Amino acid sequence: MSLLVIDTALGLCTAAVAEQGRVVARSLPMVRGHQEALAPMVEAIMADAGLTFAGLAAIGVTVGPGSFTGLRVGLAFAQGLGAALGRPVVGLSTLDALAASVEPDLRPVAAVVDARRGQVYARLFGAAGTPLDEAAATPLTELAERLQGVGSGGRLVGTGADLAAEVASGWEPVTLAGPTPGALLTLTARALADGDAAAPRPQYLRAPDATPPTRLPGQPRPARA
């Protein structure tokens, strides 16, 4: 089964394809410019793998949390390609993919993304990779309390790992700019096998920083009471 996965949620633009155990992947550090880089990157890895788009069985794409613009680019590309090919598109949690990007051991894992403004997006996982809570935008002080409830000696994984380590005594930071291709492919294959392929809808854990204007250009300001 040939799978294509795409990640544009954080500081990387990643695309990978797997065919009979062989993985071809490319990943570039990128905060902006995903729209221009993604399609050529996907075309290149398909060519390197010797695959045609018609041979794909499914497409996996990260749905967040992450950059608003980056998420939209990845989702639009994956959904457009899936519609054109008539193939399923699987939505992948960025936090779940980050947690799956480290080798499993007996320690708990906290997937942590820097959300700025003194907050992180976080989700906690047990030693077997089982989720312990739901993904949420959390102030660092509250994250420390959540981690204390799990114990100590775990790993903090993601773009917010070093930040979280400041309030998480005994937790090891593993800074990653984005999920690994292997983690993305594993989660996509697992979702398809379990029949639990979530529809690819963006996951926003916090209201956007920008707000709509209260009046149109040229309209007078409302009178004060």
Q: How far is CA 144 from CA 83, 98, 139, 170, in A?
A: 43, 19, 9, 11
pLDDT of residue 223: 58
| pLDDT score for 211 | 47
CATH number of 102-175: 3.30.420.40
CB atoms within 10 A of CB 82: 19
**Average confidence score pLDDT of the chain:** 90
CATH number of 2-93+178-194: 3.30.420.40
Amino acid at 17: V
* pLDDT digits 0-9 by tens, 190-224: 999 988 776 788 888 765 554 445 555 555 665 55
Task: Please compute the mean of the pLDDT values over residues 129-146 and round it to a whole number.
Answer: 92
Q: How far apart are the first and last CA of the chain?
A: 66
For residue 210, the model assigns a pLDDT of 45
Assess whether the region 2-93+178-194 and the region 102-175 belong to the same CATH fold: yes
Rounded Cα–Cα distance for residues 10 and 195 (Å): 27
How large is the average pLDDT for residues 89-98?
96
Question: pTM, whole model, 2 decimals?
Answer: 0.89
Q: Band of the pLDDT at 2, cuts 50, 70, 90? A: very high
Domain ranges for the chain, please list them: 2-93+178-194, 102-175
Contacts of 90 (CB under 8 A, 6+ apart): 58, 59, 60, 61, 188, 191, 192, 197, 198, 200
Q: How far apart are CA 13 and CA 16, in angstroms?
A: 10
The mean pLDDT value for 13-40 works out to: 94
